[in-house]
């Protein structure tokens, strides 16, 4: 597969190396001449010292035959423009943008970027998993961000504690499917009764997460701190 990577920072550098190792054809565009030369010394002649935001440089890199363009610079606006140019000007089938500001994640999807990667959110997710919080844990995003896999920790004061799955009227399109109790995962059935200490894995529509949190966990107690 022919892949163009824009941005030769740490992400771009390691991404390019990994892709080359797995046998892909890769061109890396890096606008800083020193950085470009440094990477070229290490991984060979796949580096072009060009600004990937410029249409003619994307063209020179072969954008019109690329299967994927991945824009992973440290600047959100550059990543957006690279992906939009790739998609609309060069008909690249799949575009991937790194976003650094979590606020841009949704906007970039709306503006047609196929895959949006948000390192900040990933780090936050990893941190949340290690700290008890009175909230839904975001495990993964599905179907272009419309659905999310979430985890809820049931406490003794949670509204779901002591209730059976069939008695919880979750919003349509949301599904409880696994309960983890004492380290053992089991499928949620209609008669599964939840108890304090359970971890519930659910599939939730992004737009009804407040409702899901409210039903499973309850409101944030004002004094809860990890």
Partner 1 sequence: MRTIIVGCGRVGAELAGTLSRAGHEVTVIDISSQAFNRLNGDFPGQAIRGDGTDEDVLRRLGAENADYFFALTEGDNRNALAAQLARDTLRIPHVIAKINDPVRAAAYRAMGLAVICRTTVMVDMLARFVGLPGDPRAGELAAQLPSTAEAR
Query: Which residues contact partner 1 by CB under 8 A?
Result: 53-56, 75-78, 80-81, 84-85, 88-89, 101, 103-104, 107, 110-111
Q: Which is nearer to partner 1, 74 or 221 (CB)?
A: 74
CA distance 216 to 33: 54
Q: Which is nearer to partner 1, 51 or 151 (CB)?
A: 51
Q: Which is nearer to partner 1, 79 or 204 (CB)?
A: 79
CB of 86 to partner 1, least distance (A): 10
Q: Which is nearer to partner 1, 84 or 141 (CB)?
A: 84
Contact 96, 108 (CB under 8 A): no
CB of 58 to partner 1, least distance (A): 9
* Phi, psi values for residue 125, rounded to 5°: -60, -45
Contact 9, 34 (CB under 8 A): no
CB of 145 to partner 1, least distance (A): 15
* Phi, psi values for residue 162, rounded to 5°: 85, -5
CB of 107 to partner 1, least distance (A): 6
Encode burial over 135-147: b for 16+ CB neighbours within 10 A, e otherwise.
Answer: ebbbbebeeeeeb
Q: Which is nearer to partner 1, 55 or 218 (CB)?
A: 55
CA distance 59 to 18: 24
CB of 60 to partner 1, least distance (A): 12
Integer-rounded Cα Rg, in Å, for the chain is 22
Residue identified by tokens 């979750």 is 170
């Amino acid at each position: 597969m022919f892949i163009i990577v824009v941005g030769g920072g740490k992400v771009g550098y390691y991404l390019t190396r990994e892709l080359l190792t797995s046998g892909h054809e890769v061109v890396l565009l890096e606008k800083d001449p020193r950085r470009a030369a440094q990477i070229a010394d290490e991984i060979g002649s796949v580096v072009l010292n060009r600004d990937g935001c410029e249409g003619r440089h994307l063209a020179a890199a072969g954008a019109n035959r690329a299967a994927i363009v991945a824009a992973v610079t440290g600047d959100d606006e550059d990543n957006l423009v690279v992906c939009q140019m790739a998609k609309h000007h060069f008909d690249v089938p799949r575009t991937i943008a790194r976003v650094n500001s979590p606020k841009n994640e949704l906007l970039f999807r709306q503006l047609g970027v196929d895959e949006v990667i948000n390192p900040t959110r990933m780090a936050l997710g990893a941190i949340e998993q290690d700290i008890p919080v009175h909230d839904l844990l975001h495990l993964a995003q599905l179907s272009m961000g419309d659905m999310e896999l979430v985890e809820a920790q049931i406490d003794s004061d949670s509204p779901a504690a002591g209730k059976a799955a069939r008695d919880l009227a979750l919003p349509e399109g949301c599904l409880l499917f696994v309960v983890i109790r004492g380290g053992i995962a089991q499928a949620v059935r209609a008669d599964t009764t939840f108890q304090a200490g359970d971890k519930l894995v659910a599939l939730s529509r992004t737009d009804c997460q407040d409702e899901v949190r409210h039903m499973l966990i309850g409101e944030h107690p004002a004094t809860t701190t990890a």
